[in-house]
Amino acid sequence: MFRNDFIWGVATSSYQIEGRDANDGAGLNIWDDFVKKGTIVDGSDADVACDFIHRYKEDFAIMRMMGVKAYRFSISWSRLIPDGIGEVNQKAVDLYRDMLICMKENGIRPFMTLFHWEYPLALEEKGGWVNPESSKWFERYAEVVGENFADLCDDFITFNEPQCTIGLGYVRGYHAPGKKLPLKDTLFAAHNLLKAHGLAVKALRRLAPNAKIGYAPTCGVAYPNTDSVADIEAAKKRYFGFDEDKGNWAWNVTWFLDPVIFGRYPEDGIELFKDDLFEITKEDLELINQPIDFIGQNIYNGYPISAGENGEIVYADRDRGYNQTAMTWPVTPSALYWGPKFLYERYGKDILITENGMADCDIVAPDGGIHDGGRIAFLDQYISELQRAADEGASIMGYFHWSYCDNFEWADGYTKRFGLVYVDYPSQKRTIKDSGFWFKKVMETNGANLSINNSFKEPIFLDPHFTHNIWGGTKLREVFGYDVEGDDIGECWGISALKGGAAVVKSGPYRGLGLDELYDSHNELFGTHHDRFPLLTKIIDAKSDLSIQVHPDDKYAAEHENGSLGKMECWYVLDCDEDASLVVGHNAATRQELCDMMDQGKWNDLIREVKISKGDFIQIDPGTVHAIKGGVVVLETQQNSDITYRLYDYDRLWNGAKRELHVDKCKDVITVPATDVSAAIVHDTDEKQGIRLLNSCEYYNVSRVNVTSELEIDVTDHYILVSVIEGDGLLGSHPIKLGDHFILPVGYGKAVFSGKMKLIVSSEA
């Protein structure tokens, strides 16, 4: 886990969420102009965005509910000073002060960013960052910030991603102000921005002497393709070096960090740009080199680097089919390990991850939720890598998720969603995504629920085996969502190791193995070993009556069925028609009476039926006459055996012939007289959260688990089998839903279930 004072939070920027108001007194910024030029992919603008200026109290209440303790946000320079210099907009002062007060009332620590790409349009028309006076303009802005907010905010960040401001705004023209300037001008603009940073730090130190002040650049992380020393050194050389084309020069770490931390530009950069550099004075470098308290860093992805034969940098190929986000950015969790590690080694400053997250194609599900399991998996992997860097000595002070909510994603408009909170833009309704609930747990536990802290053992999710039966139906497809065709789908063997019907591991290092193969080859996952996997879990959909059966016990099966196991089973009624019943037991008082009734075909007199309801649990011991009737769906837990004796099958034809009956063996094994049926049935109607033990016998323990918010199960000494029979939610960072079947291996640790769902959990006795 992370250090005790670790800062967990969420982040946004002003232009992306605030919106506008005709009476707000705000001036225009470069993005207000840029969006009118056909530069946004969906033709949108940020005039409303998330309407944060009117809804921030609602949003801070949502943050509090999510357990957010810190919020990194930016304020708008042109909202505060409409022309960039000159008169201050008191409405903006009042607005931001009220936001800060509201944050504190909700237990949220504010981290205020002064500049997140929104340059005042009036100043851009004077040349923007290329104007030699631009650093002085920013100094005055920082003074206004200190004068008006220092009493309510103790943490400030001067600039967000200066590489993007220069590279995307002045070099490539992809972002506002949309310019493509000569190299010399862009280098000068970057220098002025860095001077503005120094002046802002000085102003804030003067006006807020106790404040913590940082600076938040970015860059893709060069990470080693392997853990070899040569690859690590090559990656570090690339990360801090100058290998970019001059047409994309601003995507660089050291040009934007070395002057801030060391008071000098990197020598290889000076050499590269020598024909386009202006005079850089000692006074300028001293100004830029103001002491800061931390380095903020926005990290989303990276690229693999190998060392050539002579140590030269080689760009390694990505794996075929590598994962990408909705931005088409590669998913590279190790970037959040190597980036902070390299930065801390070079600069020796606390590292604050000021942005990390992913855009996803979030869709509102029929139940109204947003089940963004991909984002949860992404974050779990990335933050686990960040902890690894911290565990190995990098001083990581905090992590801000980008972003709190979906918002206006610059040139991509509203086509990309980064938030933990879904925003329906027409109605402005907010909905916390599954990832938001998951991240709440991360913050609450200081990362204890991350996969890195859970013994590196993952759930074993299984693809079921299906059978087609004369009595089968369609509910396994229509209700449970299984991808299986036919109108006679009788059984879903969710957790099965039967030969010829084994469930198959669907993901992870054991993907493709049948459960029988996994049990034989990886006994360390189970902690016990028998000659076969001992249990089987299945869902049975009976459109019509199943045959009436009885199972032998182990002793009889061993003697008469070539050493096979007998069979004990139990049923949990998942669904049933009104007035449904099951066959459980018989009415014969003696074995002779039993045999006579069977020989004479007096089935109606012999068979005992019992009325059932959804949620009933029935234990079926060996020797018990039993059958599932039409209109009933059950989850069955049983010994891993397929030994069944058929007593009666209603004289039905299967492929033109009656099915085989086992009358003599039934006469041998049926218990006489039958056990009182009331002793075999448990009525389970409790909907409160908790665990109810339904049965414990010599072969298995079976429990029903209700999850209404969050519930923990300690999986230490025994593996457990889990089937989701209602609802959906999360197991740690893993989304789970109705119809999922999985095994939690021995030593898994704390299994944290969250959401609203019902489970059947079983284990070896």
Q: State yes or no: pLDDT of 5 exceeds 60.
A: yes
What are the two backbone dihedrals, phi and then psi, of residue 535, each rounded to the nearest 5 degrees? -125, 165
Nearest Cα neighbor of 590 from 673, 647, 670, 663 is 673
The three-class DSSP label of residue 305 is: strand
What's the pLDDT score for residue 586? 96
What's the pLDDT score for residue 454? 67
Helix (H), strand (E) at residue 65: helix 52-66
Q: Does residue 535 lie in a domain region?
A: yes
Domain end marker among 655, 670, 686:
686
Residue identified by tokens 């028309």 is 125
Q: Does residue 752 lie in a domain region?
A: no
The three-class DSSP label of residue 21 is: coil
What number is the average pLDDT over the span 110-127? 98
Domain end marker among 644, 671, 686:
686
Q: Is 466 found in the same domain as 441? A: no
Residue identified by tokens 């310019």 is 179
Q: Is 173 found in the same domain as 158? A: yes
Q: Is 290 found in the same domain as 153? A: yes
Q: Does residue 705 lie in a domain region?
A: no
* Ramachandran area for residue 186 (φ above 0: left; ψ -120 to 50: alpha; else beta): alpha
Q: Is 533 found in the same domain as 409? A: no
Q: State yes or no: pLDDT of 55 exceeds 90.
A: yes
Q: State yes or no: pLDDT of 458 exceeds 90.
A: no
What percentage of the chain carries pLDDT values higher than 70? 100
Q: Does residue 714 lie in a domain region?
A: no
Q: State yes or no: pLDDT of 680 exceeds 80.
A: no
pLDDT band at residue 463 under the 50/70/90 scheme: very high
Helix (H), strand (E) at residue 400: strand 396-402
What is the domain-level CATH number for residue 259? 3.20.20.80
What number is the average pLDDT over the span 588-597? 96
Query: Is residue 186 within 8 Å of 177, Cβ to Cβ?
Result: no
What's the pLDDT score for residue 676? 86
Rounded alpha-carbon distances, angstroms, from residue 677 to 523, 604, 618, 623, 666: 38, 17, 9, 13, 19
Q: Is 474 found in the same domain as 434? A: no
Quick count: other Cβ atoms within 10 Å of Cβ 315?
13
Write down the pTM of the prediction.
0.68
Q: Does residue 698 lie in a domain region?
A: no
Residue, of 748 and 341, whose pLDDT is higher: 341
What's the pLDDT score for residue 531? 79
Q: Is 465 found in the same domain as 316? A: no
The answer to whether the bond into 177 is cis (omega within 30° of 0) is yes
Q: 80-99: b or e for each residue (b if 16 or more CB lie within 10 Å)?
A: bbbebbeebbeebbebbeeb
Give the list of residues 6+ apart from residue 635 with CB closer than 8 angstroms, or none.
537, 538, 539, 540, 571, 572, 574, 723, 725, 760
DSSP state for residue 532 in the 8-state scheme = S
Q: State yes or no: pLDDT of 566 exceeds 90.
A: no
How many Å is the maximal CA-CA distance in the chain?
111
Residue, of 641 and 382, whose pLDDT is higher: 382
What are the pLDDT digits (tens) for 141-179? 999 999 999 999 999 999 999 999 999 999 999 999 999
Q: State yes or no: pLDDT of 456 exceeds 60.
A: no
Nearest Cα neighbor of 750 from 454, 478, 512, 552 is 454
Give the list of residues 6+ apart from residue 232 with CB closer than 8 angstroms, or none.
224
The catalytic position among 18, 118, 124, 355 is 355
Q: If you average pLDDT over every residue of the chain, what do you get?
A: 95
Q: Is 120 found in the same domain as 194? A: yes
Question: How many domains is the chain partitioned into structurally?
Answer: 2
Q: State yes or no: pLDDT of 528 exceeds 80.
A: no
Query: Is residue 507 within 8 Å of 735, Cβ to Cβ?
Result: no
The angle formed by the CA atoms of residues 666, 671 and 676, to the nearest 5 degrees, is: 135
What's the pLDDT score for residue 88? 98
Query: Is residue 762 within 8 Å of 702, Cβ to Cβ?
Result: yes
Q: Is 263 found in the same domain as 392? A: yes
Q: Is 285 found in the same domain as 354? A: yes
The catalytic position among 118, 124, 161, 491 is 161
Nearest-angstrom CA–CA distance, 221 and 289: 24
What are the pLDDT digits (tens) for 393-448? 999 999 999 999 999 999 999 999 999 999 999 999 999 999 999 999 999 999 98
Q: Is 279 a catalytic residue?
A: no
What number is the average pLDDT over the span 75-90? 98
Quick count: other Cβ atoms within 10 Å of Cβ 527?
14
Q: Is 479 found in the same domain as 428? A: no
pLDDT band at residue 451 under the 50/70/90 scheme: confident
Q: Fill in the amino acid letter for 391.
A: D
pLDDT band at residue 455 under the 50/70/90 scheme: low
Q: Is 559 a catalytic residue?
A: no
Q: Does residue 739 lie in a domain region?
A: no
pLDDT band at residue 204 under the 50/70/90 scheme: very high
Q: Which residues pair with 676 in a beta bridge?
A: none
What number is the average pLDDT over the span 457-485? 95
Per the structure, the complete domain to which residue 433 belongs is given by 7-453
Q: Is 481 found in the same domain as 449? A: no
Q: Is 204 found in the same domain as 113? A: yes
What percentage of the chain carries pLDDT values higher than 90? 87
What are the pLDDT digits (tens) for 699-750? 999 999 999 999 999 998 889 999 999 999 999 989 999 999 999 998 888 8
Q: Does residue 720 lie in a domain region?
A: no
Q: Specify the pairing of strand 581-586 against strand 607-611.
A: antiparallel
DSSP state for residue 758 in the 8-state scheme = E
Q: Estimate to the nearest angstrom the gap between the alpha carbon of 603 and the chain centroid.
A: 55
What's the pLDDT score for residue 200? 99
Q: Does residue 324 lie in a domain region?
A: yes
What is the domain-level CATH number for residue 653? 2.60.120.10
Domain end marker among 646, 664, 686:
686
Query: Is residue 384 within 8 Å of 452, Cβ to Cβ?
Result: yes
